[in-house]
Structure 1
Amino acid sequence: MAGSAKAMERRSGISLWRQIADQIRHGVGAGTLAEGGRLPPETALAARFGVNRHTVRNAIAALIDEGVLRAEQGRGTFVEERRRLKYPISARTRFSEGLRDQARDRRGHLLRESREAASGRVAEALDLADGAPVIRMETMSEADGRPVSRATSWFDAERFAGFADAFQELGSVTLAFKRYGVEDYFRQSTLVSARHADDDDLDDLGLAAGAIVLVTIAINVDIGGRPIQFSETRFAADRVELSVTPPA
């Protein structure tokens, strides 16, 4: 494990094992821990991080559950060899199209949907009046049967009445939009950040506690420039990397 370990923050409110897991995960992502490489022994890691072996063992167990590491009896713990999907973010961001050459089967699943009054944030994004009716959808997207992202999206309930049913049938936002005469649409804006996965993301994406998700907050507009979708998408950071294409 190349490089020195970052000092543990013992009063940060974040468990020590989670901090260690984050550092190991960061090392994998940064390339300082190569795929297929063997992790140092627990005693060496405990000394490096200034903690006991039990704390290190908890961090390793979480990363094994997450699929970042794998344990081989009698040989040690190794960095799992995994291919990350490259998800492009551009003026025409589409889940299925973006992963077309990387996964054979790409499909979205409806987890739950509801009709609600638009909050100020949602109303502003969709250019609606505060409290206007909107459809809220919680969805999960898979590539070759593997969950890669979970999203919360909002749509104008008057323009897109029944949108959740169309999405559940077709498994695609793009195809569902076509049902409403929206043949094409464009990404108006995307904000990207990262954070620890919350409980729902952990469950739906099959992640271990402490896992990191990449978060995109986006607005899509139709060809007339009218907002049609506001969404917050969480991508499993160990499965997907975001590739942002600047506007021409």
Structure 2
Amino acid sequence: MDNPSPPPPFKLSGSELWPSVRAGLGVLLLFAAGLWVARQYAEPLGATLAEHSAMGIAVFLVSSAVAVLLPMLTNLPLLPLAVLAWGPGWSALILLTGWVLGAGLSFVLGRHAQGAILRRFPSVQRHAEIDRLIHPRHRLLSLIMLRMTFPVDVLSYALGMFSRRTTLLENLASTAVGGAPFAILFALFPTLSGNAQWAVFGGSLLAFVLYTAWVLRRPEPASPPEGN
């Protein structure tokens, strides 16, 4: 009996990438606005957050989870304020915890409320072949790489809806591992000097442009030979 051939590589077009690019640019602008506010009003904001620390942590944690559940929202403008109040370490941990919680809820909703999600967010349908991006023998590594390249607020819905082989535990673990570098980077960014911030921003932008160019220039998957 012939061994089944591996799934063909998945190719994204420019029109499929554009929503993610547009959303990423919007998040960067909002994050920059939050950074400016935190610097301009550091003393009064720091005093206020110190007086209401528990409430501030709860709001930041819940908003991090909600930002994953609702693709049109982001709480990254709050991150510079969180760093101002609790430092980069705790801020990164709270942010990542919220992402993991949100990813878990998104996965469960995708698994059990597919019809309602498609009616509300029909664009998720373009990820119906998400399993083609997951290597059958290296599933967790594939999911971690997807977590680091796909929008965090889309992937968990797509996995829950269209990937029957992916488990909730795999989704949570890949979110924690794949999201950790971004949570740390975002939390450390407000503590850097102006020149260092521009260097990180420029390097990240260059890496994203190179990755996007590589994705767009990948060859179309070859058709399997007939008669096998």
TM over 0.5: no
Pairwise TM-score range, normalised by the shorter structure:
under 0.3
> With structure 2 as the length reference, what TM-score do the two structures score?
0.25
Larger proportion of helix: 2
Larger proportion of strand: 1
Structure scoring higher RCO (CA < 8 A, sep ≥ 6) equals: 2
> With structure 1 as the length reference, what TM-score do the two structures score?
0.24
